[in-house]
């Protein structure tokens, strides 16, 4: 992190004010920060009196120093102070996006920043928001450290005024997370996105203001990370791509701090789906690879199957059809090991229907990238698998059913069957009228474009007209 030139710095009056409030000298603050750093495992941090003078003169120390200073002064003052309260620039402004350091406490500060600054805007994959996302090496390089990051000791500073957090609060967050997942499945992410972001702010505040044991703290941090993944997913579904990516990345950090690699793998697959939606297919595949590698010893059967099925889909998009079929076979084989009730809560969505739909879409994509008998074979397999998915979908998975009908319509087009595509489009539009999802709208636009080669046929003309009317 770059520091401003000396002639650009302004004295840190807020830090000076709080030092005076607690009657702590520069040397005393340096000693107290060093002691706290040692207690948290930061052996290389040992500021001295001259370090504090530089802070007061306007220098911003590197993380985790601002957080350590805030915790030290908070303990002496008997109130909770953030680095920003002590005159240090906001953590998220210093470490925008994927630059967030893999250090204890950073995810909580980042989540609080994100949830305070969220606004309700309408975006799609071609929006300004979509162009602001991190991609390529700028996204992937910083995330590589997730695979090797181990959780640090989790301590709540003495003197916090928010009370003691226990099992009841953790279970409450998990219950709320499940509720919002259900709402998202039934109605899409747009309408409830702002509510789940507000709930995430409340949950993250518990980590920032309350006391808890090591065990409860890790469970709380994991619960907050899972809720953050839902907030990110709803933001993605609503077309808020930049916000969704920040929420995903920060939740991934929180999961890493909690020591939950399986949850981290789940968040990475959410990010992979977003990158695929934004047509960054190589990035999507790289995120799946990172999830498979980083959580390789802690993946459940369902998670392993899900990641392999996504690999099949992304390989098909990239034209690697042999690799796609190989990955699909691994997904089906691994899924046989799933034991209902033994999977993490965040994996409840990945059932027989989801497996069939994901592999069916891989065949649909392969059909578009093939010719002759191979095209017919992939189209036939795609239609069969996606129909199986539709039949197995639970009633509340309304958005998933809409995606299934759209996938069937696109597969019928790949097979040269515009009438079949028209029928499935009608079903998809009926469901689209009951949910609020920009992702479904984007898929409808793709279907409209893919039907153009059949524009002289009555079914394709009707299909395109219906989509144009539905999207306004």
Q: Could you read off the pLDDT of 119-178 as tens digits, one per residue? A: 333 335 556 667 778 888 888 888 888 888 888 777 776 667 778 899 999 999 999 999
The closest alpha carbon to 281, from 380, 369, 187, 156, belongs to 369
Does the pLDDT at position 301 exceed 90?
A: yes
Q: pLDDT (tens digit, 9 = 90+) per residue, 208-256?
A: 888 999 999 999 999 999 999 999 999 999 999 989 999 999 999 999 9
- Does the pLDDT value for residue 179 go beyond 60? yes
Token digits of residue 393: 């979908």
Length of the chain: 472
In a domain, 374, yes or no: no
Is the preceding omega at residue 64 within 30 degrees of 0, hence cis? yes
Copy the structure tokens of residue 270: 């959410």
Domain assignment of residue 328, yes or no = no
In this structure, are 61 and 187 located in the same domain?
Answer: no
Residues 134, 15, single domain; the answer is no
- Model pLDDT, residue 159: 66
Residues 171 and 254 in one domain: yes
**Residue 130 sits in the same domain as residue 257:** yes
Boundary (domain end) residue, out of 241, 273, 298 = 298
Range of the structural domain that residue 285 is part of: 103-150+164-298
Domain boundary at 298, 317, 341, which? Answer: 298
Residue 53 has pLDDT above 60, yes or no: yes
Confidence grade of residue 95 (pLDDT, cut at 50, 70, 90): very low
Residues 137 and 251 in one domain: yes
329-336: list long-range contacts, CB under 8 Å, 24+ apart.
Answer: 330/305, 331/305, 331/306, 331/355, 331/358, 331/359, 332/305, 332/359, 334/301, 334/304, 334/305, 334/308, 335/301, 335/302, 335/305, 336/301
Query: Are 59 and 191 in a shared domain?
Result: no
Q: Which of 264, 298, 332 lies at the terminal end of a domain, its last residue?
A: 298
Q: How confident is the model at residue 356 (pLDDT cuts 50, 70, 90)?
A: very high
142/282 same-domain check? yes
Q: What single DSSP character describes residue 203? A: H
200 and 54, same domain (yes or no): no
Note whether 22 and 146 are same-domain residues: no
Same domain for 190 and 51: no
pTM reported for the whole predicted model: 0.75
Residue 125 lies in a domain: yes
Question: What does the pLDDT look like over 268-282, one tens digit per residue?
Answer: 999 999 999 999 999
Chain-centroid distance of CA 43 in Å reads: 32
Is the per-residue pLDDT at 26 higher than 90? Answer: yes
Decide if 467 is inside a domain. no
Q: What angle do CA 96, 218, 110 make, to 5 degrees?
A: 15
Q: For residue 436, is it within any domain?
A: no
At residue 191, the pLDDT reads: 83
Q: Are residues 115 and 78 in the same domain?
A: no
Based on the domain organization, do 178 and 286 belong to the same domain? yes
* Number of domains composing the chain: 2
Q: pLDDT of 207-219, one tens digit each?
A: 888 899 999 999 9
Query: Model confidence over 4-19: pLDDT tens digits?
Result: 444 456 788 889 888 9
Binned at pLDDT 50, 70 and 90, residue 62 comes out as confident
């Amino acid at each position: 992190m770059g520091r401003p030139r000396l002639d650009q710095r302004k004295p840190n009056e807020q830090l000076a004010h709080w030092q005076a409030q607690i009657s702590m000298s520069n040397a005393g603050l340096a000693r107290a920060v060093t002691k706290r750093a040692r207690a948290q495992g930061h052996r290389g941090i040992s500021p001295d009196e001259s370090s504090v003078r530089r802070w007061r003169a306007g220098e911003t120390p590197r993380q985790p120093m601002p957080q350590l200073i805030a915790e030290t002064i908070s303990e002496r003052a008997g109130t909770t102070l953030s680095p920003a309260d002590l005159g240090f620039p906001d953590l998220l402004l210093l470490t925008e996006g994927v630059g967030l350091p893999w250090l204890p406490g950073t995810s909580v500060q980042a989540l609080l920043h994100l949830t305070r600054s969220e606004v309700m805007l309408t975006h799609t994959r071609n929006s300004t928001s979509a162009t602001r996302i991190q991609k390529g090496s700028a996204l992937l390089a910083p995330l590589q450290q997730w695979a090797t990051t181990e959780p640090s000791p989790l301590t709540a500073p003495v003197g916090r005024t928010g009370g003691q957090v226990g099992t009841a609060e953790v279970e409450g967050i998990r219950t709320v997370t499940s509720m919002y997942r259900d709402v998202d499945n039934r109605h899409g992410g747009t309408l409830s996105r702002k509510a789940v972001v507000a709930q995430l702010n409340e949950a993250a505040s518990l980590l920032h203001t309350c006391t808890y044991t090591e065990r409860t703290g890790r469970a709380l941090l994991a619960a907050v990370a899972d809720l953050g993944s839902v907030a990110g997913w709803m933001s993605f579904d609503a077309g808020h791509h930049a916000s969704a990516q920040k929420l995903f990345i920060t939740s991934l950090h929180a999961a890493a701090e909690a020591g939950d690699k399986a949850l981290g793998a789940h968040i990475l697959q959410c990010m992979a789906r977003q990158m695929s939606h934004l047509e960054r297919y190589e990035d999507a595949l790289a995120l799946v690879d990172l999830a498979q590698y980083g959580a390789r010893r802690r993946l459940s059967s369902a998670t392993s199957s899900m990641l392999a099925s996504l690999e099949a889909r992304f390989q098909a998009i990239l034209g690697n059809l042999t690799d796609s079929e190989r990955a699909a076979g691994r997904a089906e084989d691994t899924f046989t090991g799933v034991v209902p009730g033994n999977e993490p809560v965040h994996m409840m969505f990945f059932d027989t229907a989801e497996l069939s739909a994901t592999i069916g879409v891989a065949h649909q994509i392969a059909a578009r990238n093939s010719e002759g008998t191979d095209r017919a074979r992939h189209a036939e397999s795609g239609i069969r698998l996606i129909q199986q998915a539709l039949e197995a979908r639970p009633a509340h998975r309304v958005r998933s059913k809409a995606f299934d009908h759209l996938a069937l319509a696109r597969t019928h087009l790949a097979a040269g069957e515009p009438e079949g595509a028209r029928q499935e489009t009608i079903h998809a539009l009926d469901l689209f009228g009951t949910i609020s999802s920009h992702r479904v709208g984007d898929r409808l636009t793709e279907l409209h474009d893919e039907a153009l080669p059949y524009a002289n046929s009555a079914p394709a003309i009707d299909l395109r007209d219906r989509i144009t009317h539905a999207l306004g």
